[in-house]
Amino acid sequence: MNNPVLRASGLTRDFGPLRAVDGVGFSLGEGELLTVFGPNGAGKTTLLRILSGGLQPTEGVVSLRGLEQKSGDPEWYRRVGFLSHQSFIYGHLTLDENLRFFGRLFGLKDLSTRVPDRLEQVGLASRAGSPARTLSRGMRQRLALARSLLHDPEFVLLDEPYTGLDAHAASVLREVLTTLKDGRRTVVLVTHNISQGLELADRVAVQVRGRFVLLQDRAEVEVENFERTYRQRVEEAG
Amino acid sequence: MDYLRQVGALVWKDLVVELRTRERVAAMGAFTVLVGILFSFAIDPSVVQPQDIASGLIWMTVIFGGMLGLGRTFHLEEDDGAFQCVLLSPIPRDALFLGKVIANFILLTVVTALVFVVFALFFDLGFGDHPLALAAVVLLGVLGFVAVGTLFSAMSARTTMGETLLPILVFPLLIPVVIYGATATSSLLQGLPVSEVDGNIRMLAAFALVALASGAGLFRFVVEE
């Protein structure tokens, strides 16, 4: 691992009596991508929400290049981009308006060039003036990707980005996600899909009942046997 | 400058979405017109002069109609989780509150103007000799109402019984707006001098200020988890 830029330690989140995330800790170097696998209800989305700054942990700390995450800290949000299986966009605004709106919230000044560039990057430039609600699921997801990368974040969180996409839309999205591995961004990807998750990963984790039951470098993973290893770990922890 | 730009972006977004959906203004507008008509039929002019009670009826119509729109403030934000993304942007939470209040204030001011037109038609009401003072009373009252309503609307949007709960939470807090707003409106409609309603205007301004400051301070505890 390069020098760690992202450090998470002892992350725990309780919802009443339910512990959704339980003592999760890991470090990632600049440009590294961690894929987190896990069954439904394992706490993966809750973990991403904590890392994004959208949810405060009950215990534990996260820091990015020494900046410790605090509730509502604008500096944290400037550094983080979050892509979920929900698109987080306004259906009644056009694609251009959606990106300009979020760009203004991030205080970006060069929106007249940045917005068309991002739409071009995700192959949606020709639909810039269409209302977002008229887009297909795959197009919405690409717009969401453009929105999450609009402010050029150094830390990117991807929560099941392939959910509900057909084969073509998934391959377009994969191409764009591959460009995230530019050595500058640190990425955490949550997915159920083992082949897609392993394809881009530098490190791999399996989360079950809130805990990381496996965390290792991608190079140490036996790809052919990983599905069996994954099932074994889930059964042991479950 | 970024702060004002962020507030402006939110106001712009809310108004554009409203202009395209007309979800809230249409509901509030239809409600206020119908209520005005019903009031005009319900009052027996041989027992009470409609002009004598018009100010109270105007304020109750504004508040009931306004609740319809304010209650939907954050439901529109649930459009594919978009508000979560707003919360993951570096906009200060007080700017977020302020943006929401300004957008709601503009919408409710339009609806309030419609209420006055409806009452002028059905109650044969003039606007008195001091339209500017009347406008100040109405705008300050609406601002206080919107500030309280926006905060509680954010709170109720996160509960299962939100829309039922909202009036129960908000109405008790609006007593000062109703008292000072209705009294001042009544005095001005009767043509009394502005000096008669000076105190009411100050109280409405103080209420709006306190509601705005408290809302701005408390909003982050409502929207953040």
Q: What is the ipTM of this complex?
A: 0.89
B16: closest chain A residue by CA? A93
Q: Which A residues 14-33 touch B at CB under 8 Å?
A: none
Cβ within 8 Å, pair B17-A102: no
Provide the pLDDT for residue A162: 84
The mean-pLDDT minimum among A90-94, B20-24, B72-76, B109-113 falls in B72-76
CB-based contact (8 Å) between A74 and chain B?
Answer: yes
Provide the pLDDT for residue A204: 94
Cβ within 8 Å, pair A52-B88: yes
The CATH number of domain A4-88+136-237 is 3.40.50.300: yes
d(CA A153, CA A147): 11
Provide the pLDDT for residue B146: 97
Contact residues for A26 (Cβ-Cβ < 8 A; gap 6+): A8, A34, A203, A205, A212, A215
- Nearest by CB to residue A82, choosing from B8, B88, B93, is B88
Domain boundaries, chain B: 2-223
pLDDT: which is higher, A114 or B223: A114
CB-based contact (8 Å) between B73 and chain A?
Answer: no
Nearest to A177 by CA among A216, A223, A142, A140: A142
Cβ within 8 Å, pair A90-B81: no
Contact B9, B92 (CB under 8 A): no
A89: closest chain B residue by CA? B82
State pLDDT tens for residues B174-218: 999 999 999 999 999 988 999 999 999 999 999 999 999 999 999
Cβ within 8 Å, pair B81-A107: no
As a whole number, mean pLDDT of residues B110-122 equals 92
Contact A190, A158 (CB under 8 A): yes
Q: What is residue B159's three-state secondary structure?
A: coil
Whats the size of chain A, residue-wise? 238
d(CA B73, CA B106): 13
Torsion of CA B117, B119, B122, B128, to 10 degrees: -90
Chain A closest-CA separation from residue B172 CA (Å): 31
Cβ within 8 Å, pair B13-A147: no
CA A131 and chain centroid, separation? 25
Confidence at A1, pLDDT banded by 50, 70, 90: low
Cβ within 8 Å, pair A84-B6: no
Choose from B89, B94, B219 for mutation: most chain A CBs within 10 A: B89
d(CA A81, CA B203): 45
Torsion sign over Cα A23, A29, A31, A34: negative
- Nearest by CB to residue A90, choosing from B13, B91, B225, is B13
CB-based contact (8 Å) between A125 and chain B?
Answer: no
Chain B closest-CA separation from residue A235 CA (Å): 32
* pLDDT for residue A2 is more than 70: no
Q: Contacts of residue B88 in chain A, CB cutoff 8 Å?
A: 52-54, 77, 80, 82
Chain A closest-CA separation from residue B69 CA (Å): 18
d(CA B105, CA B148): 11
Confidence at B79, pLDDT banded by 50, 70, 90: low
State pLDDT tens for residues A168-200: 778 877 887 888 887 889 999 998 888 888 988
Q: Which residues pair with residue A188 across a beta bridge?
A: A34, A157
Cβ within 8 Å, pair B90-A84: no
Domain boundaries, chain A: 4-88+136-237
CB-based contact (8 Å) between B90 and chain A?
Answer: yes
Provide the pLDDT for residue B171: 93
d(CA A226, CA A217): 13
d(CA A126, CA B66): 40
Q: Which residues pair with residue A186 across a beta bridge?
A: A155
Cβ within 8 Å, pair A88-B84: yes
Distances A62 to A10, B9, B141 between C-alpha atoms, Å: 9, 30, 45
- Strands A59-64 and A4-15 come out as antiparallel
B200-208 own/partner pairs: CB under 8 Å, 24+ apart: B200/B137, B201/B133, B201/B136, B201/B137, B201/B140, B203/B176, B204/B137, B204/B140, B204/B141, B204/B144, B204/B176, B204/B177, B204/B180, B205/B140, B207/B140, B207/B144, B207/B176, B207/B177, B207/B180, B208/B140, B208/B141, B208/B143, B208/B144, B208/B147
CB-based contact (8 Å) between A82 and chain B?
Answer: yes
Q: Which A residues 31-60 touch B at CB under 8 Å?
A: 52-56
